[in-house]
Amino acid sequence: MTLNHLKIALAATVCIGSGSPGLAQNSAPVAKVTAATPPPKLVVMIAVDQFSADLFAEYRGKFTGGLARLASGVVFPSGYQAHGATETCPGHATILTGSHPGRAGIVANNYFDLSVARDDKRIYCAEDESVPGTASGGGKYAPSVNHLLVPTLGDLMKARDPEAQVVSVAGKDRAAIMMGGRQADELMWLAPTGLTSYRGTTLSPTATQAGTAIAAAIAQPRPGLALPADCAAHDIAIPVGDKGATVGTGRMARDAGDFRRFMASPEADGAVLATAAALRQVRKMGEGSGTDLLIVGLSATDYVGHGVGTEGAEMCLQMMGLDRELGDFFARLDATGIDYAVALTADHGGHDMPERNRQNGWTAAQRVDRALDPDALGKAVAEKLGLPQPLLYGDGPFGDMYLSKALTAAQRKAAQAEILARLREHPQIEAVVTADELANRPISKHAPDTWGLHDKLRASFHQGRSGDFIVVLKPRVTPIPESGLGYVATHGSVWDYDRRVPMLFWRKGLAGFEQPNAVMTVDIMPTLASLIGVPVDTGKIDGRCLDLLSGADSSCR
Ligand SMILES: [Zn+2]
C-alpha cells in the first residue's frame, strides 16, 4: 500500500477531506486579518523534528506545497531552541509551554535519578518509572506526562473552557506528550501496530481505524522514490562503517513490515497528518463556539537526519515529501472553510555527518573519542582512585553527568576533581560546567543569538534533574564514535546548528512579513495564547508574545 492508498483508505473509513456539511467553501475575497478579527476557530501546531533553520534556508526556494504556503506567512527564520541540551524531548517541551526545559523539568531525553531502584538509574523524559517492571529503554517504559512540570497551551485552554478540544498526534511519544500536556482529549503516536497511546487507554474508533490503515501500509513493501532533478546534486555516496556500506544515494525503498524505514520517510509524516485530519473532521474541531487545538508532531526528518545525515539525496526526498504532505493536509483544511491558524517550528536543529562535512569544505569535522564515554571514564577514574563502581552516570559522551551517591564527601571531591581535570585537558572538550555554577544564575534576558555557554546551559538546568556537571563538546564534534548504518549524525549540542529553527505562522488573510532577528520557541505559546485570547501569567513562563500583525496593529493583548 502506498501513502496515497493509505490516504484513500483513511478517507473511505473516516471521510478525510470530504468537508463537513454546512461549511460552504468561501470564495469571497479574503478579508485581511486585523486586531479586530475574531480569534481563529482552530490552531494547528506543527513540530517537524530536526527541521533546522539550515534545512529551511537550503530548501526554502524549492518548496511549492505546504511549506511554501507557510513561508509566505509570518516568518522568523532565526528561531531558537535557546537552551543547551538540544534534544527531542526538551525541544518539544518548549513549544507549547512557553518555558525553557529547565523550568519545564525536561532537561534531556534521558536523565538520571540515582535514588530509583532500577539498575541503570536512567529515566526517560516521558515515562512513569513508578510502574512496576518498567525500564527506560525503548518499548520497556510506561509512557507518561508526569515529568512535565508546567502546563501546555492545551491545558490552559481546557482550564478556561472545558469544551475546547485538544488533540495531539505525532510520530514519537515524547513529541505527542510534551506538546499535548495533561488534558488532551486524544493523544497518540506511531507504532509498528499503527497508532498507540498511554498504557491502559483505548484509542477512539477514528484513531483505531487510522491505526489499522497505517499498519496495513507498513505491511506493504515500498519501491524506491524517483529522485527529482532538484535533488540530483545531493546524490553522492558517502562511505560509512568498514563493510563497504554507503549513505547519500538512498531512495527510501523498504521491505514489507520495515517499521524503521517507514518512520524515516515522508510516508510516516503523511500518516500522522492523515490521522490528524481525520480526527479533526470526526470531532468537528474548529466548528464549535470557541477555539480548538490540533497538535501534529512530524518525526521523519529526524530519522532521516540520524540515519543518513542531512545533506544527501534522502534528506532532499524527505524535504520534498514533507512539503507535499503538508500541502495536502492544508488543502483538506481549506476545503472545510474553517478559519484556522498554523504555527510550525522544530524541536531542535541538526548537523550533518562528519564524513560528508569533510568532503564539503569542513575538513575539521570529527567524531567523538571513545575515551569520553562516561562508563569508560568513570571506570578509569574509579580504578585509579580506588573508588566503588559504577562511579559516573551519563547518557553519552556529553551533557549531564552524575556522580555515584555511594561516595563519601572526600571521595566525591576527589572523583570530581580527577574527572574534570581529565575532561578539561581533552582536545575535543569545549568546557565542563558544574551545577553549582548554574544553580543561582538568572535566565538571560538577552536575545538568544547573543547567549554565552552558561546562559544556554542555565536554560536547560533543573536542580534535582540536571547532572553534577555538564560536558560540552567543541563545535562539529559528532558525539557518535563510529559511523555505521543506522545512526551516523545527530544533534543535542549547545551550538547554533542545533539551536536554530524556523518559526512560521500562517492564517488566511494574515499579511506576511519576515523578521530575521532572533526569537525563541518559548515565544510560540504566548503568541498563540494571545491570538486566541487565553490569558497567560507572564511571570510563570520564559517567552513573550510575538506580534503577528505588521503595521501598528498588534495581535498581542
Ligand atoms: Zn533526533
- pLDDT higher than threshold 70 for residue 11: no
Cell of 442: 538568572
pLDDT value at position 362? 97
For the chain, give the percent of residues with pLDDT over 90.
92
* pLDDT grade for 15, boundaries at 50, 70 and 90: very low
Cα 367 to ligand 1 centroid, rounded to whole Å: 17
Cα distance between residue 129 and residue 126, in whole Å? 9
- pLDDT higher than threshold 60 for residue 1: no
* DSSP letter, residue 127: B
* pLDDT-wise least confident of 101-110, 131-140, 434-443, 453-462: 131-140
Cα distance between residue 355 and residue 349, in whole Å? 19
- pLDDT higher than threshold 90 for residue 533: yes
- pLDDT higher than threshold 70 for residue 17: no
* pLDDT-wise least confident of 16-20, 202-206, 260-264, 540-544: 16-20
Fold of 3-17+42-101+151-360+494-540: Alkaline Phosphatase, subunit A (3.40.720)
Cα 156 to ligand 1 centroid, rounded to whole Å: 28
Q: What is the mean pLDDT of residues 84-91?
A: 98
* pLDDT grade for 139, boundaries at 50, 70 and 90: confident
- pLDDT higher than threshold 80 for residue 53: yes
* pLDDT grade for 19, boundaries at 50, 70 and 90: very low
Model-level pTM? 0.96
Cα 235 to ligand 1 centroid, rounded to whole Å: 23
Q: Could you tell me which residues come within 8 angstroms of residue 112 by beta carbon, excluding any fewer than 6 positions away?
A: 121, 122, 123, 393, 394, 395, 400, 402, 467
Q: What is the mean pLDDT of residues 549-553?
A: 94
- The ranges of the chain annotated as CATH 3.40.720.10 are 3-17+42-101+151-360+494-540
- List CB-based neighbours of ion ligand 1 within 5 Å: 302
* pLDDT grade for 20, boundaries at 50, 70 and 90: very low
Q: What is the mean pLDDT of residues 426-432?
A: 98
Cα 374 to ligand 1 centroid, rounded to whole Å: 21
Cα 290 to ligand 1 centroid, rounded to whole Å: 35
- pLDDT higher than threshold 50 for residue 443: yes
Cα 384 to ligand 1 centroid, rounded to whole Å: 36
Cα 208 to ligand 1 centroid, rounded to whole Å: 27
pLDDT value at position 138? 83
Distance of CA 419 to the CA centre of its chain: 32
Alpha helices in 122-172 (DSSP H): 153-160
pLDDT value at position 3? 54
Give the tens place of pLDDT for each residue, 356-405: 999 999 999 999 999 999 999 999 999 999 999 999 999 999 999 999 99
Cα 306 to ligand 1 centroid, rounded to whole Å: 6
Find out whether the peptide bond into 390 is cis, omega within 30 degrees of 0.
yes
Q: For residue 530, what are the CA distances in angstroms to 156, 342, 505? A: 12, 14, 14
Cα 520 to ligand 1 centroid, rounded to whole Å: 19
pLDDT value at position 29? 77
pLDDT value at position 84? 98
Q: Which of 88, 97, 490, 521 is catalytic?
A: 88
* Terminal-residue alpha carbon distance, the chain: 48
Cell of 464: 534535582
pLDDT value at position 6? 62
* pLDDT grade for 22, boundaries at 50, 70 and 90: very low
* pLDDT-wise least confident of 25-34, 131-140, 303-312, 338-347: 25-34
The overall average pLDDT reported for the chain is: 95
Residue with cell 490540533: 294
Strands ordered across the beta sheet of 399-403: 392-394, 399-403, 469-473, 429-434
Q: What is the mean pLDDT of residues 432-436?
A: 98
pLDDT value at position 391? 97
- pLDDT higher than threshold 80 for residue 541: yes
- The ranges of the chain annotated as CATH 3.30.1360.150 are 369-427+429-473
Active site residue 301: no
- pLDDT higher than threshold 60 for residue 25: no
Residue range 369-427+429-473 forms a domain whose CATH class is: alpha beta
Q: Could you tell me which residues come within 8 angstroms of residue 215 by beta carbon, excluding any fewer than 6 positions away?
A: 192, 193, 194
pLDDT value at position 484? 74
Q: Could you tell me which residues come within 8 angstroms of residue 344 by beta carbon, excluding any fewer than 6 positions away?
A: 46, 47, 48, 67, 70, 502, 503, 504
pLDDT value at position 485? 67
Q: For residue 39, what are the CA distances in angstroms to 27, 202, 261, 552, 553? A: 20, 33, 40, 18, 15
